[in-house]
């Protein structure tokens, strides 16, 4: 095999759906979609013109690659039960070591980790999404890099240790910043103020760090160590002890970094 | 006076510079720039074709409005010393009550609070920036609203209590999310990984909430309550106890909200 043309998708969640659709749109043949929940497998498979199944034994060995888009916790047990140990197989997780394939007897394997947060019902152009590639042989590395380049201009070779650090950093930059938006939204909602008001500020905050280091772009009462405002903000949060704790801890850290 | 045509800028920091430039570009006359540090006053005044001074007594009463862009902590003492108590005067702070003007004997006053994070050397189009207006009379409200509409299409009447809540929400949505980017950057830098890799994810995270509530867009290990990954991430942060504390606290809160 010189290049990958046919794919089996293992899983039916957000990553499976986004990757499946992206490859399908690029003309790849999606042979099968597997999910423990048959109706989920069917829904995704229908949109990809693919077959579907909910039993590992029903998976065929006809695909050039098997892309495992399962939750981290069940990847190992899936791999133990999947019998085509010579097939090229990858997972898409930020956190699971590549060794998981070796342990389960595979010969050709790697990682295809798209560094993006996929949400249901939110279409996404993958062209600029970084894909982190790792493989057990240089031939497989070439195959996976070629595959990823069909979707993205932003493909990188990243080993398992680096990938875990990137995933950790992404939790802060993406999941935790989104939670800060959630708190802001909640504070406004409790006071009958429209969240729309904050959207230009959120957009600009994310926009600024395209050209500048976030440390240089830090503003606000903690950055200025404005004790009076900080005290007042903590008072305003008196009825939300958990928000108060978060405000305190992050403020202390920003002050410490000054 | 039916509309404001001439302005004195009190302060020379980021807000003073951005507002001064924006009004100057719209054809307003900037009469004077005041700053305690004369060279700062001079630098800004030169770019605005204005006079400058570092003594409150040198301020003239020729302007239609005095825009106080000082740090919260020194607004009150400036107002106490500023002698033209009949002049229209506003401050630009998210946190200081409008009463600060009344207490200091003013007759015509209000708030012109631009809900944006201004950084030095980062030009900004103010057209979509929300301006929160408050005034002591309906005539002054009309004057301030008219003034703000020269710069922005997004002008709102907001009272002092609401403004404080908005400012608090902005600290979470802007200052704290930026600090999350800083931590992410730091984790990557320590591992020789380029921060560029995270930028598409940061942009998409901010972009998602334009059309969706941030609570619905929450993803990540905490959202899935993935104990294995959370445990591993805390291990990876073993040499950064303060990042570990932040990771723990935010994760606990996301899990609680599930």
CA distance B143 to B1: 9
Tell me which residues of chain B, numbers 32 to 91, contact chain A at a CB-CB cutoff of 8 Å: 71-73
The predicted-structure confidence for A132-169, as pLDDT tens digits, reads as follows 999 999 999 999 999 999 999 999 999 999 999 999 99
B166, A130: Cβ pair inside 8 Å? Answer: no
Is the pLDDT reported for residue A222 higher than 90? yes
Output the tens digit of pLDDT for each of chain B's 258 residues: 789 999 999 999 999 999 999 999 999 999 999 999 999 999 999 999 999 999 999 999 999 999 999 999 899 999 999 999 999 999 999 999 999 999 999 999 999 999 998 877 777 789 999 999 999 999 999 999 999 999 999 999 999 999 999 999 999 999 999 999 999 999 999 999 999 999 999 999 999 999 999 999 999 999 989 998 999 999 999 999 999 999 999 999 999 998
Give the closest residue to B182 by CA, choosing from A245, A148, A257: A257
Q: Does A125 touch chain B (CB under 8 A)?
A: no
- Name chain B contacts of A228, Cβ cutoff 8 Å: 72-73
Chain A with chain B: Cβ pairs closer than 8 A: 308
A180, B180: Cβ pair inside 8 Å? Answer: yes
Distance from CA of A103 to the nearest CA of B (A): 19
CA distance B219 to B237: 20
Q: Does B117 touch chain A (CB under 8 A)?
A: yes
pTM: 0.90
A162, B217: Cβ pair inside 8 Å? Answer: no
Q: Which two tokens stand for residue B73?
A: 């902590």
A220, B117: Cβ pair inside 8 Å? Answer: yes
ipTM: 0.90
* Chain Cα centroid distance, residue A226: 37
CA distance A146 to A144: 5
A218, B178: Cβ pair inside 8 Å? Answer: yes
CA distance A25 to B213: 29
**A220, A247, A255: best mutation site toward chain B, by most B Cβ within 10 Å?**
A220
Helix (H) or strand (E) segment spanning residue B231: helix B227-236
In the prediction, which pLDDT does A117 show? Answer: 82
Residue with tokens 């772009």: A217
- Name chain A contacts of B15, Cβ cutoff 8 Å: none
- Name chain B contacts of A216, Cβ cutoff 8 Å: 119
Give the closest residue to A12 by CA, choosing from A34, A31, A32: A34
Average confidence (pLDDT) over A238-258: 96
Q: Which two tokens stand for residue A252?
A: 């202390």
A206, B209: Cβ pair inside 8 Å? Answer: no
Q: Does A255 touch chain B (CB under 8 A)?
A: no
Residue pair B120/B142 in contact (Cβ under 8 Å)? The answer is no
Distance from CA of A1 to the nearest CA of B (A): 30
**Phi, psi of A69, rounded to the nearest 5 degrees:** -115, 50
Choose among A165, A177, A212: nearest Cβ to B205: A177
Instruction: DSSP letter for A95, please.
Output: S
B209, A178: Cβ pair inside 8 Å? Answer: yes
Q: Does B130 touch chain A (CB under 8 A)?
A: yes
Nearest CA in chain B to A158: B193
């Amino acid at each position: 095999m010189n290049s990958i043309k046919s794919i089996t998708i293992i899983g039916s969640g957000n990553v499976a759906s986004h990757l499946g659709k992206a490859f399908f749109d690029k003309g790849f043949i999606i042979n099968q979609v597997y999910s423990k929940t048959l109706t989920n497998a069917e829904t995704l498979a229908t949109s990809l013109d693919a077959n579907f199944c909910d039993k590992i034994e029903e998976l065929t060995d006809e695909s050039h690659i098997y892309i495992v888009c399962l939750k981290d916790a069940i990847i190992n047990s899936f791999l133990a039960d999947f019998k085509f140990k010579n097939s090229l197989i990858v997972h898409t997780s930020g956190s699971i070591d590549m060794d998981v394939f070796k342990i389960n007897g595979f010969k050709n394997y790697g990682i295809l980790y798209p560094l993006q947060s996929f949400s249901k019902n939110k279409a996404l152009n993958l062209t600029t999404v970084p894909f982190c590639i790792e493989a057990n042989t240089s031939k497989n590395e070439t195959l996976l890099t070629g595959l990823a380049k069909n979707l993205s201009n932003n493909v990188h070779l990243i080993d398992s240790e680096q990938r875990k650090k990137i995933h950790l950093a992404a939790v802060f930059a993406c999941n935790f910043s989104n939670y800060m938006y959630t708190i802001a939204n909640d504070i406004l909602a409790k006071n009958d103020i429209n969240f729309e008001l904050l959207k230009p500020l959120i957009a600009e905050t994310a926009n600024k760090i395209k050209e500048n280091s976030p440390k240089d772009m830090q503003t606000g009462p903690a950055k200025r160590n404005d004790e009076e405002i900080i005290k007042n903000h903590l008072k305003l949060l008196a009825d939300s002890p958990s928000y108060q704790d978060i405000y305190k801890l992050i403020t202390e850290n920003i002050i410490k970094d000054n």
